[in-house]
Amino acid sequence: MKRITLGALDYGLAFGVDRALRDLAENGRLSALGALVATELWPREFRPLQEIAEKVGQQTLFGITLAFSGDRVIPVSSRMQEIYGGRMFTREKLNRRAFFRLLPDELLMDEAVAQLARYSVLMQRPPDFVAVREGLLTRTSLARIVFKAVERADFEKPPLVISPLQPGLKTLRLARLAKTYGLQVLPSSEPLPPTADSEELQQLLLNHFDGMSDRSFVASIPGKSDDRLMREEPRKKIAVRECQYDVLKSDRFFQTLDRKNIFLR
């Protein structure tokens, strides 16, 4: 039997997304749920997530998705707020600065530490895993900052690290770097197909998990439409979210897993 870590990493983005993720986690449809603590909604949405985490216990991993870039997130650390106000970097800017070795290491370290603290204090538990938004963990310089921040947090049990990369040389390098900080990396595999047709997704999932290594992380973006999502995301992406939610909560999806001899971690 092969174990797959099926997860979603954008809790805290919108009420419709959060409700869908809590429902799926409570019913054993997701095995990992990552929270964005740098969003406007997190201070209101952490408590329902805390209740779900207490209810399901070890059945699901609950972790944090660190955000240093992108829309709909705001700085948590006081230093980042002072310098950049209510805006984060763009992914392109961070990638460019990482390439030229011009990252603001101390600033990013403070932000990572502040987000980790915000998660563990409000959730009253350490994160089971750490991911980084927009795949920025591929940058070795940024990965080192994240690993140092986790080390500084001094969690009793080190969290897993979700790699944005599929198995290969780059993932091995990331795993070796993580190991120097006492951390273990879970490699990623192909995310759920981005289709808005439920029947098509059910058919695609019949072979989607073939060839994946044991414990691979498979990303998903389930959710339900709400006013916030309608303002902030294209209709096509919202349709994909709703399709994934409908399929993951279906009995047919679990029948597919049984048929393929796959166990959700």
10 neighbors 208 (Cβ within 8 angstroms): no
Summary mean pLDDT of the chain: 94
Q: Which band of pLDDT confidence, cut at 50, 70 and 90, is reported for residue 17?
A: very high
Residue 253 clears pLDDT 80, i.e. is over it: yes
pLDDT of residue 107: 95
DSSP state of 69: B
Cα distance between residue 106 and residue 213, in whole Å: 36
pLDDT at 161: 97
What does DSSP assign to residue 108?
H
> Is 80 exceeded by the pLDDT of residue 248?
yes
Q: Which two tokens stand for residue 27?
A: 């019913």
Give per-residue burial for 124-149: e unless 16+ CB within 10 Å, then b.
eebbbbbbbbbebbbbeebbbbbbbb
Q: What is the pLDDT of residues 56-111, one digit of tens each?
A: 988 899 999 999 999 999 999 999 999 888 889 999 999 999 988 899 999 999 99
Q: With bands split at pLDDT 50, 70 and 90, how would you rate the model's confidence at 171?
A: confident
